Amino acid sequence: MTETTELNIEAALARIDENLLVLAGRELMSAAEVSDLLLDLRLELAASSPLAEAVDVAALAN
């Protein structure tokens, strides 16, 4: 695994951990918050995969 890929995975894991701490005390999470989190994770991971960048994110939103 390349250093860049490892950094992107570490950044995604850090974002997941950060959000888990925030959400642990909540009972509900809006669809917009879930979408934002998933998009953030996708962007972090896409930086390490040329195939992931080929997906049209706008098309997924519809």
Specify the pLDDT at position 12.
86
* Per-residue pLDDT tens digits for 6-22: 888 888 888 889 888 88
| Domain edges within the chain | 3-61
- Which of 24, 19, 12, 15 minimizes the C-alpha distance to 48? 12
* Per-residue pLDDT tens digits for 29-46: 899 988 888 888 888 888
pLDDT band at 3 (very low <50, low <70, confident <90, very high): confident
- Evaluate if pTM is beyond 0.75: no
Contact 39, 57 (CB under 8 A): yes
Q: How far is CA 61 from CA 25, 30, 31, 32, 41, in A?
A: 28, 15, 12, 11, 15
More confident residue, 18 or 60: 18
